Structure 1
């Protein structure tokens, strides 16, 4: 097995063109450095450095091996830094904006678990489907569906493959029937969500090269995603929700997916920050935690 210390000697010697210089930088005796290099060459089965009394140069095998040795050292160093960052006690207050339905049904519990792991953190939640202004409002980070139009914002993907799902309750479908095409949605009660200042009433579907953009109607609309989902559960119409919002109900059969042979709109869940410099240790730890929670949730039967 290749030793970390032997790789260090080889890389430093190659960079300096001198084994004695490598030994000085690593605080080793020349004899120990020489033994490390010989041990590495024996392990890999090739001479890496051609040595003489006055010069030291890479062999052809050494040139090929150097990049891999350097990458291995960098990977070990990066791993150590990641563990050191994880060991640091996170503290301070984190203000987080999130969509209403997913925030109440899933994210709140995941965030409670996050706080249990980091006792020095305080969390302020803003649960709303209105898009938070990360520059004007006291919000450090926002969870949003879709990639923000503002190019100055940084969107870090959490669930990049998430899409919308067209769904309704068994009771609604028993009374009104299943739509067989996107155009048939025009004669159904569609539950529309107000996103920001805009009413989401143009629902998009695709099937190969074919794209359908349907303007839907209905007697109910709300700026709260949870309200829209509850209306759907009560049999009051058809919803076009993020699959993450509806997944528990779909798995339990409380809602049934519709038009499954059509591809629905993309709805990637992202962690949005005003600038990459805002990716503090707390935000980085939160992102890692939420990614793990989402992966486990989506993989569950």
Structure 2
């Protein structure tokens, strides 16, 4: 399938920003990769890349064609999977975006197991607390907390009952004591995070009909959730984290949940994609796998 091979070279080169890197990944020569792109441009009567001695950049036409090329490759993969049924081995590349702390704490080890079960799947992981643009960036699906900012995106639930909890290390609590009520948070050093460009410093908790929003302060702010958790583990203050992110540390005793009779903000974990047609067999199998892993996590302590 010559057209399939040409599209594969084009997509790999676009993702890597380099013809030589694409050639290495596909085990072909750089000259062959360059010839493929030139042939594809000639067939399409348009320039797909702007080339220089050090960089490779998509033209506007190349960006437009890239989305269609990805969908065509996915369609071919789906057709092959459908042809062979459940006995077919999963193949193809999975491009997954995920929050930093969630990825490092849980998802990457889970993905190691997934890849071991499906050795013909190639993984491309993007760890960032910034919401990936799944329309323009080379991402198949994204793991994100809460509803997606764009209502047109498809959100498939993985852990819908997840929520935030207040937590701190035993060392911090030994020095400063544990707040008995959310209102006492103003007396503590609170570790805050930048979320979508804004400091998340209004922490909301409720108990029955009592709904409190406390504006907290502290000497540390990070745009990375993993950094906030590391500060909490080091005893620098109180964090307001997703239960999934800190569940292992709480179970091991490295962190303690505070104000347990107060309920933190809901933070359902979803698998997000722009279109159900992009839910290829590898993506669907990954979703089932991650859902099972999330279901095995412990419940939030009461």
The Cα of 1:85 is off from its aligned counterpart by: 4.6
The Cα of 1:229 is off from its aligned counterpart by: 0.6
Which residue is 1:114 aligned to?
114
CA distance in 2, matches of 1:280, 1:209: 44
Which residue is 1:206 aligned to?
206
Q: TM-score of the superposition, structure 1-length normalised? A: 0.70
Secondary structure in 2 matching 1:297: coil
Secondary structure in 2 matching 1:247: helix
Unaligned runs of 5+ residues in structure 1 are: 1-80
The Cα of 1:149 is off from its aligned counterpart by: 2.7
Q: Is the Cα contact below 8 Å between 1:85 and 1:281 reproduced in 2? A: no
Deviation per CA, 1:256-299: give whole Å up to 9, x if none: 11111111111111100111221111110000011111222337
1:75-90 pair list within 5 angstroms: 85-90=85-90
The Cα of 1:135 is off from its aligned counterpart by: 1.1
Q: Is the Cα contact below 8 Å between 1:97 and 1:139 reproduced in 2? A: yes
Task: Confirm whether residue 245 of structure 1 aligns to residue 245 of structure 2.
Answer: yes
Deviation per CA, 1:99-144: give whole Å up to 9, x if none: 1112112111111111122222111000111111111211110001
CA distance in 1, matches of 2:197, 2:188: 24
CA distance in 2, matches of 1:121, 1:252: 33
Distance 1:264 1:151, change over 3 A: same
Task: Confirm whether residue 170 of structure 1 aligns to residue 167 of structure 2.
Answer: no
Once superposed, what is the RMSD of the aligned Cα atoms? 2.0
The Cα of 1:171 is off from its aligned counterpart by: 1.1
CA distance in 2, matches of 1:88, 1:110: 22
Which residue is 2:282 aligned to?
282
CA distance in 2, matches of 1:109, 1:85: 28
CA distance in 1, matches of 2:171, 2:218: 17
Distance 1:284 1:185, change over 3 A: same
Secondary structure in 2 matching 1:271: strand
Distance 1:220 1:86, change over 3 A: farther
Which residue is 1:152 aligned to?
152
Distance 1:173 1:136, change over 3 A: same
Which residue is 1:10 aligned to?
none
CA distance in 2, matches of 1:285, 1:85: 13
Unaligned runs of 5+ residues in structure 2 are: 1-80
1:129-148 pair list within 5 angstroms: 129-148=129-148
Secondary structure in 1 matching 2:180: coil
Larger Cα Rg: Structure 1 or Structure 2?
A: 1
1:1-301 pair list within 5 angstroms: 85-298=85-298
Q: TM-score of the superposition, structure 2-length normalised? A: 0.70
Q: Is the Cα contact below 8 Å between 1:164 and 1:241 reproduced in 2? A: yes
Aligned structure 1 segments of 4 or more residues deviating by more than 3 angstroms? none
The count of corresponding residues between Structure 1 and Structure 2 is 220
